[in-house]
Amino acid sequence: MTSERNVGVIGLGRMGTGIARRLDEAGLLGGAWDVSETARGRAGLSDDVAIAPPAQIAQRCTFILFVLPGSAEIEECLSGSEGILAVDGPGQVLVDLTTSRPGETKKLAGLVAGRGRAYLDAGMTGGAQAADAGRLTLMVGGPDEPLAHVRPVLDRIATRIFHLGPTGAGHTMKLVHNMICHTIFLATSEGCRVAEAAGIELADAVAVINAGNARSFISEARFPNHILSGTFDGRSAVTNLAKDLAMAVELEQEVGLPAAYGPLTARLLARALEHGMGDQDFTTLYRALDSLLVEESGTEPVA
């Protein structure tokens, strides 16, 4: 791939800023945008990057990456006189890096296909630190040819890319992944709270977990880096986890399989929102878990 700046990034939040900076450093980023002036100002991109609304990005970029909250925000970027589809862009590849409902993803893919664009859903995992380092894992749905076309761009932000099937497959897998990940976080937190209440130091409990079969990314990275450290800076809000689990439960219902852990995790996260925790870092759930479980079970917490 040449060093032509033909990639645009729309959405400069925790994940989008890291992705944009990686592409900027590689000489590939041509345009970036966020509806928040504050986000645009703190992105710290080079002077070679045009900070411009979606239609202007579409005029100059072959590849456009969406790092937004979900499908509704992407549709806003596509529509209207300042939207991407107001500009002719045959051969453009749009990459949806959100966590979204697969059905809505398919609708967006159909919308842009009628305007000569290709659409890939690419659920991502690894968190903001992986975005900063260009070490994301991507779960991709969509046609082969557009993926091959945009692959050199994605290789700059991800170390592992899984092509899982047609449009919607990437976002389906992302919902499954997040349901498992968030459930493991709460299960690990519950176990560690019990260990602490029984007189075991949290650091010792985590060390044992990581030496045994209960270890996971949560125990190996999240607990040491964000809970044991006392920083509680996992760089994702409780509201994001709640949104993910609500969509995952919808998916479980759509496929018609029995489910227990997804709905339970969704209820606990919804309860955290009711307690006003939506904007807090998700790692703070560790400290709030006792009260959430009391409400769920109707029993007293471990003394």
Q: What is the dihedral of CA 13, 15, 20, 25, to 10 degrees?
A: 130
State whether CATH 3.40.50.720 applies to domain 7-165. Answer: yes
For residue 1, pLDDT beyond 50: no
Burial 188-214 (b: 16+ CB within 10 A, else e): bbbebbebeeeeeeeeebbeebeeeee
Q: Which CATH superfamily is domain 172-297 in?
A: N-(1-d-carboxylethyl)-l-norvaline Dehydrogenase; domain 2 (1.10.1040.10)
Element (H, E) at 169: helix 169-197
CA atoms within 13 A on the CB side of 266: 18
pLDDT bracket for residue 287 (50, 70, 90): very high
Band the pLDDT of 297: cuts 50, 70, 90: confident
What predicted TM-score, i.e. pTM, was given to this entire model? 0.93
Which stretch of DSSP H or E encloses residue 191? helix 169-197
In the chain, the percentage of residues whose pLDDT exceeds 70 is 97
Per-residue model confidence as pLDDT tens digits over 112-159: 999 999 999 999 999 999 999 999 999 999 999 999 999 999 999 999
Nearest Cα residue to 149 out of 86, 223, 93, 216? 93
Q: Is the pLDDT of residue 298 over 90?
A: no
Could you check whether 7-165 and 172-297 share the same CATH topology? no
> Which sign does the torsion angle of CA 12, 16, 20, 22 carry?
positive
* All structural domains of the chain with their residue ranges: 7-165, 172-297
User: For 251-266, how does the pLDDT look when each residue is reduced to its tens digit (9 = 90+)?
Assistant: 999 999 999 999 999 9
- The set of long-range contacts for 102-107, using a CB threshold of 8 Å and a minimum separation of 24, is 102/141, 102/168, 102/169, 102/171, 102/172, 102/175, 102/251, 103/168, 104/70, 104/71, 105/71, 105/141, 105/167, 105/168, 105/171, 106/167, 106/168, 107/71
